[in-house]
Structure 1
């Protein structure tokens, strides 16, 4: 069994997050960027909305009494809403106000000192649902751009309320598409899920958000968990203690 020796980035969401491990996905890109510094844990749950997601989240995120013996989740991304925005009557649909409340709850139980899941060292980034392209979804997309856009605005409102950064995936794609439905094709594989190019855009925007909002979590500011090969003591090889990781020299090892 592998030992838990690295702090982590926890990606929480639906199938768009789950597929982040596909070739060129944002989870794969993050894992490469934070190699030897932070583990990337993907907890994307295909088909989930925020109602089911909130129940799952309380099993996925460690309660505070267990946290001292576990690596710290240094960054948490919450990317839900593509399923909540299914039209009313669909099994996945969650009302707009309940959706906002669920996103607010997920973030605040990590932030609140009175919460059983309180984690003061965890930084949070929210992501909006991407645009939808009904003409591209061959199986019949039970979503409309107008309806989904409301949920996008809801995520941004929660971000303002909790003072959390938000990656506006909707605007990112829509502007790149020159505000035309047909312009979304390079970024959406089926009108809902992302292509490699779409994930690259999300990855770049997320890295820029980390740089702006949480600069201490940029890769260049984080030490390697194990020291570089030319800086280690061959007779005493082991991970840097978390309590003094910032004292470890952080740079890429020479070739």
Structure 2
């Protein structure tokens, strides 16, 4: 058993949309702000990765159950893949829809199945669907990369089939889901051109896009795991206004809540 105070965590697992969310106004940044001194937010986003490549990576970033007693507990895990899986067939990132669904189930079961080496019964899971793509905007961005691509390798229609698959997997596996595709698509009036308000390059999110996702994620936490909402968690150690020269030594000797 680890001595002293250890703060438990929220683990964000995904592709570049997760990786970039540590920036100002990103999802990880907003979560870190509201969960100060309550839960640490760990960003484990991997740019360009698909769900196939994610599985071996997850086995390295998520502690095995034999290791978990000595580490902070992952209270909430978000899984956000699909934007790269949904490229046109033939691309190196492409993953067929059926395999994509199975990969998501595998990631979930690594945490939920008692027979898994990574079983973590205290971890709550929320999966997120890939956002809609602005193919014209993305095609312009691809030209700047000099990859020899003269058109978008993604479409909003194909991405929607992958987003729908996420919701089906969530229902089958009994986990919560945030439908980022529908969230942004509706906010854009179901028009690709209007997605420019939320997307930097046709794929990755602007602050406005991350804000919508953040609000929806907090709402999902409130509905599905209310005990993990930041308002319901106790702050580590007393507020400074409760301390004085006479009482501080006793009050800060130990945290208000011991995780281990």
Q: TM-score, normalised by structure 2?
A: 0.90
Residue 243 of structure 1, CA deviation: 5.2
Structure 2: distance between partners of 1:212 and 1:220: 13
Tell me whether 1:240 sits opposite 2:256 in the alignment: yes
Residue 229 of structure 1, CA deviation: 2.0
Residue 241 of structure 1, CA deviation: 4.2
Runs of 4+ in 1 over 6 A off after TM superposition: none
Residue 86 of structure 1 is matched in structure 2 by 87
Give per-residue Cα distances to partners, 1:77-119, cap 9 Å, x unaligned: 0000000001110000011111101100111110111111111
Higher relative contact order (CA 8 A, sep 6+): 2
Pairwise mapping of residues 213-252 of structure 1 onto structure 2 (< 5 A)?
Answer: 213-231=224-242, 233-236=247-250, 237=252, 238-242=254-258
Q: 1:99 and 1:30, CA in 2 relative to 1: closer, same or farther beyond 3 A?
A: same
Residue 100 of structure 1 is matched in structure 2 by 101
Identify unmatched segments of 5+ residues in structure 2: 143-150
Relative to structure 2, which stretch is displaced further, 136-145 or 180-189? 136-145
Aligned residues: 242
Identify unmatched segments of 5+ residues in structure 1: 245-255
Residue 230 of structure 1, CA deviation: 3.5
Q: 1:86 and 1:4, CA in 2 relative to 1: closer, same or farther beyond 3 A?
A: farther
Tell me whether 1:209 sits opposite 2:240 in the alignment: no
Give per-residue Cα distances to partners, 1:139-192, cap 9 Å, x unaligned: 143111111111101100010001111100000011111111111110011111
Structure 1: distance between partners of 2:41 and 2:176: 19
